[in-house]
Amino acid sequence: MAALQNSVPSLHHTLFINSFPQKGLQKHHHGAFLCCKRSVSVHVRAEQSSSAAASSSSSHFQDSCGRRQMIAAGITAPLVSIVDQTPIAFAAETKKGFLSVTDKKDGYSFLYPFGWQEVVIEGQDKVFKDVIEPLESVSVNMIATSKQDIRDFGSPQQVAETLIKKVLAPATQKTKLIGAAEHDVDGKAYYTFEFVAQAPNFTRHALSAVCIGNGKFYTLTTGANERRWDKMKDRLLTVIDSFKIFNV
């Protein structure tokens, strides 16, 4: 546990953004948004609807995602095409309503809800956010460690409480750990935990997963405004459950 306490300054420097809204979407020329430090751009083009019947057959979820994309682009376009210019990290459609990200360089993968946009936030390896609800996001961060197993830092509750109080929420926010657990995937131990962080004007309900691999301490955190927790909970649990580390 002492080792984790010693890592807190570095963790704090890189993970502090997870408990409050951030602006990271950078508008590029010609209607595109520069979203990723690895040259991932979101390019928007309009397509005309083939017929009124086709439009009416779209599901409510697809309509909702389309509206979010149109707001993000600033035009009335229903189609968004995400183009990754390098093979290091890529997104691919997988489970219905989600996209998959695999980072071959840093050795991790996860799912995120369709319609979220990638943004650049200093200190974070990867961040995706909802363009309307700023507290709905997922972020991944890594720091170097000599430890081989997350259990070397203490129990799930000990690690969770340290990260929540020292890293994942500002000192001005009131936090509460709801639960923490351990599970193994392919022989690798993961800690997951749920917590809330209360600010004067909002409360964020969040989930985190931490793991050690490739000489790194990985942290994935996702969450939503407390008022939308019941609606978003299942989707955020899917994000957490999808987080995997692989050897590189």
Is residue 95 very low, low, confident or very high in pLDDT (cuts 50, 70, 90)? Answer: confident
The whole-angstrom separation of Cα 149 and Cα 155 is 11
Higher confidence at residue 56 or residue 136?
Answer: 136
Confidence of residue 248 (pLDDT cuts 50, 70, 90): very high
Residue 60 lies in a domain: no
Does residue 64 contact residue 115 with C-beta atoms inside 8 Å?
A: yes
pTM of the model: 0.69
Secondary structure (H, E, C), 133-186: CCCCEEEEEEEECCCCCHHHHCCHHHHHHHHHHHHHCCCCCEEEEEEEEEEEEC
Q: What average pLDDT score do residues 132-140 get?
A: 97
Does residue 94 register a pLDDT over 90? no
Residue 114 lies in domain: 98-245
d(CA 223, CA 18): 9
- Predicted confidence at residue 6, as pLDDT, reads 60
Token pair, residue 216, equals 């790194």
| Token output for 109 | 């993968």
- Into how many domains does the chain fold? 1
> Residue 34 domain-assigned?
no
Rounded to an integer, the average pLDDT of 128-133 is 96
Assign residue 158 the CATH number of its domain: 3.40.1000.10
Structural domain contains residue 199: yes
Rg over CA atoms, the chain? 18
With tokens 């807190």, the residue in question is 8
Does residue 89 sit within a domain? no
Query: Residue 143: CB partners within 8 Å, gap ≥ 6?
Result: 7, 10, 11, 14, 216, 217
Assess whether pLDDT exceeds 90 at residue 221: yes
